[in-house]
Amino acid sequence: MEDLIETRLYFCFHCRNHVALHDDVISKAFQGRNGRAFLFSHAMNVTIGPQEDKELVTGLHTIADVYCCDCSQVLGWKYERAYEETQKYKEGKYC
């Protein structure tokens, strides 16, 4: 019980569903659809949409939208594939 109290979490802005742990933050220096974004190694209580190729600031990526499993709000995306060698570290991560 004590571990749960001390765990810092990230929540869905709309319904307060737990979606990530603070320990899963890789970087706070990312840009999302609506401004500043974080890169996470894992996410929880989410569903993943269909994959699509998208030209982002850092090049072509295959991404999939990430939705809150409680309220279906779009939270960000998951990097499925990075085509630029320098961006491969993002694969399998959440933004």
Residue ranges covered by each domain of the chain = 2-90
Model pLDDT, residue 4:
54
Q: pLDDT tens, 64-81?
A: 999 999 999 999 999 999
> Contact 64/80 with Cβ under 8 angstroms?
yes
Tell me the whole-structure pTM to 2 decimals. Answer: 0.87
CATH 2.40.50.100 fits 2-90, yes or no: no
Q: In what order do the strands lie in the sheet with 59-68?
A: 46-56, 59-68, 74-82
